Amino acid sequence: MLDFLRKNLSLKQKQKISFVFSKLKLFLYKKKIGKNSYIDKTVNTFGWGNIAIGSNTLVGEQTWLNVNGRVKDFDHIKIGNYCYIGRRNLLSSSKELIIGDYVMTNNECKFLGSNHIYTNPLKPYIATGTMNDDVLKIGVNVWIGASVIVLGAVTVGHGSIIGAGSVVTKDIPPFSIAVGNPCRVVKRFNFKTNFWERISEFDEKLESLMPNEDKYLKILKNNQENINMPKMAATSKYGDLF
């Protein structure tokens, strides 16, 4: 039956069937998608059963959510509440890929938690499988600029900003502005003066004034309980807007 359909249906007909099947999958996994969240119809997923998405979150068009090694009843990709995942992002998990609440990513961002196993170059890398032990975490209220790449078992601390085009290969501490390839911290927020300071002038003792992630999340919720999420930015179905 499948061979008959492949041979006799037009490309347009196949696309329609694929769209209907995608909607069916979304219906089956709707319990794992929070209230008022929008997943564009062009989003590609491998492993819906291992993905959880919070409430009021947008996942932009042509984004790919890829779960590698899959453990039953375990969410390898977790996206929080009030997140905006831009267009054409790639999230590829190892053990866990965690996106905290209020995270905003621009277009073309890549979060590569896993890598192919390359211990034996005499075997085809495409057949060696992936590494599935690492955790990649983006903390609460992080802003990720366009075309950023985050690699491996790294944590981007809460309240941080990663400049466009950066490649993150090491942990970024909370309340940092970091840029470059490799990504480096250039500023940190001083909670005594309420000002972003150059890293050369920042006293690390001031870290004691920084709220931890749980406290920071409560502050964010109190300051901005509801956000009008920019759904039109996640999809081109509305066409040009003037």
Summarised one tens digit per residue, pLDDT across range 64-83 is 999 998 898 899 999 999 99
Most confident of 120-124, 155-159, 230-234: 155-159
What confidence score (pLDDT) does residue 26 get? 59
Residue 105: enclosing H or E segment and its boundaries? strand 104-105
Question: Residue 138: what pLDDT?
Answer: 98
- β-sheet bridge partners, residue 177: 161, 187
Q: What residues have CB less than 8 Å from 115, skipping those under 6 apart? A: 94, 130, 131, 152
Is pLDDT of 2 > 90?
no
Longest dimension (CA), the chain: 70
- The pair phi, psi for residue 76, each rounded to 5°, is -80, -30
CA distances (Å), 175 to each of 15, 53, 149, 213, 237, in order?
A: 44, 24, 19, 11, 36
**Structural contact between residues 90 and 128, judged by C-beta atoms closer than 8 angstroms:** no
Question: How would you classify the pairing of strands 104-105 and 143-144?
Answer: parallel
Q: By the 8 A CB rule, do 210 and 193 touch?
A: no
Q: pTM to 2 decimals? A: 0.85
Domain architecture of the chain: domains with CATH: 29-234 (2.160.10.10)
Average pLDDT over residues 96-108: 98
**CA-based angle 103:108:112, to the nearest 5?**
75
- pLDDT tens, position by position, 105-132: 999 999 999 888 899 999 998 888 888 8
Rounded to whole angstroms, what are the CA distances from 1 to 8, 9, 10? 11, 12, 15
pLDDT of residue 22: 63
Among 45-49, 166-170, 176-180, 204-208, the range scoring the smallest mean pLDDT is 45-49
Given this model, what pLDDT does residue 199 score?
Answer: 96
CB contact at 8 A, 56 and 33:
no
pLDDT exceeds cutoff 70 at 86? yes
% of the chain exceeding 90 in pLDDT: 69
pLDDT digit string, tens, across residues 19-58: 676 666 656 666 689 999 999 989 999 999 999 999 999 9
